[in-house]
Amino acid sequence: AQDAGEYTCDSGDQQTTASLQVKVLPVLFNKELRNIETEEGGTAVLRCEVSKPDAPVEWRKGGVVIEPSDKYEVKLKGSVAELIIRGVEPDDC
């Protein structure tokens, strides 16, 4: 972290120095994904909330990373991550 390092307090006659270490907190889910049901041809929105705003998240289907496309839109607004699936087909399940 950019704030980690050594800091010194200097009185002119004396100095005292301390080291600051910053512990990086894990990104946790405040709200997990929920199962949804959507009609064929419709739009499905999967949404979850993470503990750190703007933390990078990765969406996967069956272990394969989903890349943004006309069908898949990935949004991250603050701590809310969304995957929008357009034109849902049975094969998308």
pLDDT at 1: 54
pLDDT at 9: 96
How do the domains of the chain map onto residue ranges? 29-88
pLDDT at 92: 76
Structure tokens at 82: 């969304």
Q: Give per-10-residue mean pLDDT for the chain (93 aa).
A: 90 96 92 94 96 92 94 95 94 74
Q: What is the DSSP string of the chain?
A: -TT-EEEEEE-SS-EEEEEE--PPPPP-EEE--------TTS-EEEEEEESSTT-----EETTEEPPP-SSEEEEEETTEEEEEE-S--GGG-
Topology of domain 29-88 in CATH is Immunoglobulin-like (2.60.40)
